[in-house]
Amino acid sequence: MKQIDRAEAERLVETYSDLILRLSYTYLKSTHDAEDICQTVFLKLLTSGQTFESPAHEKAWIIRASANACKDALRSVFRRKTVGLEAAAQASAPETPDSAVLEAVAALPEKYREAIYLYYYEGYSVREIASMLGRSEAAVTAHLSRGRQKLRTTLGGEYCEQRV
């Protein structure tokens, strides 16, 4: 494997960083993501031991590596399931429903509140809740039972016949 010295690394960065950033920005439309791609490409170049026949071959490799890294970033699950902070700031929080039951659930101790909320409001199974919270299924079942009992006591007869 060819070892690249500091001077060669600096030459590569000075020569190609602007090209990589501009190309990456055209794909990703984000300066921060383009900077990440730039670092990724240089890291790959500096650690791969790649040898080039000419400066044109070197430039072509960097362009291809940058484009491929951008395409990988666009395909990533993280990118598809997240939004930028700008979009998140514009989204409003959902309105809290005016409900005595929800208020009573919110007043429960945390372990009961988590189990009740995830089970009744989000529709998760006991097994899924146990996995999410890192607890046994028996513990989640006990938290649901005790939480329901506390809700019966708090809410009285008015809501006892209804599902939470």
Tell me the C-alpha distance between 130 and 46, whole Å: 45
User: Using CA atoms, how far apart are residues 72 and 114, in angstroms rounded to an integer?
Assistant: 37
CB 114 within 8 A of CB 153: no
- Residue 112 contacts residue 143 (beta carbons within 8 Å): yes
Q: Take residue 35 and report the two structure tokens written for it.
A: 């900077």
Residue 141 has a pLDDT of: 95
pTM tops 0.85 = no
Q: Give 155's DSSP letter.
A: H
pLDDT tier for residue 105 given thresholds of 50, 70 and 90: confident
Task: Answer yes or no: is pLDDT of 146 > 90.
Answer: yes
64-82 mean pLDDT: 80
Question: Which one has a higher pLDDT value, 44 or 121?
Answer: 44
